[in-house]
Amino acid sequence: MKLTQFAALSTLVCTAFSTHAAPIWQDFSITGLYGKNYELIAREDDQSTITFEYAAKLKYGDFFAFADRTNNDVSGNETYFEVSPRLSLGAISGHKLEAGPIKDVLIATTWEGGEGFNNYLYGIGVDLAIPYFQYAQLNFYKADNYKNTNDDYQLTFVFGVPFKIASEDFLVDGFLDWSTAEDDHASELNWTTQWKWNAGKHISPDTKLYLGVEYSVWNNKYGISGKDENNVSALIKYHF
């Protein structure tokens, strides 16, 4: 294991322990996706995905994790996960680290894992105050990639924008990942957005059952030059 990988793992563990307390808020959800035209599988094949997500705001930071279980006719069942604890420098220091649109500065870490690989990302993140956004995060990472891939750098933007049409509640949320090109792979850009209507409010005021679509644009998928993905998947998402 590389020294930088060890440092990333240590940061993940320390962050997790430092933020181990009763959450200020937490959210569990499960999402079902169904779509076609995914790159690197046969174009006529369908793909279904079940995603389990957990997010929490903690006294000294925040925590987000998800696991995707996908199925298609080419590769069968595969699992991919990310665990992303962040440590608030403002909360630790007791001083507000605010400037312009920046609400806080955090140590940002992510562990990416899947079939036969682990990547460890570490860097700095900021929480942003943007009009009409429920939340917005910008994270800058150094990535220690698994042994067959050169290390690179990654920028991640995470966002959520709620809005209403008449009396109906909608939410647009998602992420944008951009990573640098290295000798053995091209630069990647993955912009995935979910457009959702909260049908659950018609069941009960507290029910969060979303119906909608996920739109994904992924240029140079997996760092393979020219493998560009552009698709829409049907979506159903329930928050517990």
How confident is the model over 118-144, as a mean pLDDT? 96
The pLDDT score that the predictor gives to residue 53 is 98
In 3-state terms the chain splits into helix, strand, coil percentages (rounded to 5) of 10, 60, 30
In this model, does residue 75 exceed pLDDT 80? no
Q: What is the mean pLDDT of the chain?
A: 89
- What is the DSSP code (8-state) at residue 9? H
The pLDDT score that the predictor gives to residue 183 is 85
According to DSSP, the residues that pair with 158 across neighbouring strands are: 137, 175
CA distances 48 to 2, 76, 114, Å, are 35, 10, 17
Task: Report how far Cα 144 is from the mean position of its chain's Cα atoms.
Answer: 18
How confident is the model over 182-188, as a mean pLDDT? 90
Instruction: Provide the percentage of residues in the chain whose pLDDT is more than 70.
Output: 87
Q: Are 163 and 172 in contact (CB under 8 A)?
A: yes
How confident is the model over 184-198, as a mean pLDDT? 95
Instruction: Provide the percentage of residues in the chain whose pLDDT is more than 90.
Output: 69
The pLDDT score that the predictor gives to residue 93 is 92
Q: Give the pLDDT band of residue 223 (cuts 50, 70, 90).
A: confident
Cα 220–225–228 angle (5° rounding)? Answer: 40
Nearest Cα residue to 49 out of 78, 84, 82: 78
Q: Are 121 and 52 in contact (CB under 8 A)?
A: no
Which backbone phi and psi does 222 adopt, to 5 degrees?
60, 25
Cα(212)–Cα(234) distance, rounded to whole angstroms?
6
- pTM for the full predicted model: 0.88
Sign of CA dihedral 162, 209, 47, 78: positive
Cα(6)–Cα(191) distance, rounded to whole angstroms?
29
How confident is the model over 27-53, as pLDDT tens digits? 999 999 999 877 765 444 688 999 999
In this model, does residue 148 exceed pLDDT 80? no
In this model, does residue 3 exceed pLDDT 90? no
Cα(40)–Cα(71) distance, rounded to whole angstroms?
13
The pLDDT score that the predictor gives to residue 77 is 84
Q: Give the pLDDT band of residue 149 (cuts 50, 70, 90).
A: confident
How confident is the model over 166-184, as a mean pLDDT? 95
Look at the block and give the residue holding tokens 């939410």: 171
In this model, does residue 234 exceed pLDDT 60? yes
Residue predicted with more confidence, 18 or 45: 45
| 20-29, 107-116, 199-208, 213-222: least confident range | 20-29
The pLDDT score that the predictor gives to residue 42 is 47
In this model, does residue 82 exceed pLDDT 90? yes
The pLDDT score that the predictor gives to residue 16 is 56
The pLDDT score that the predictor gives to residue 179 is 94
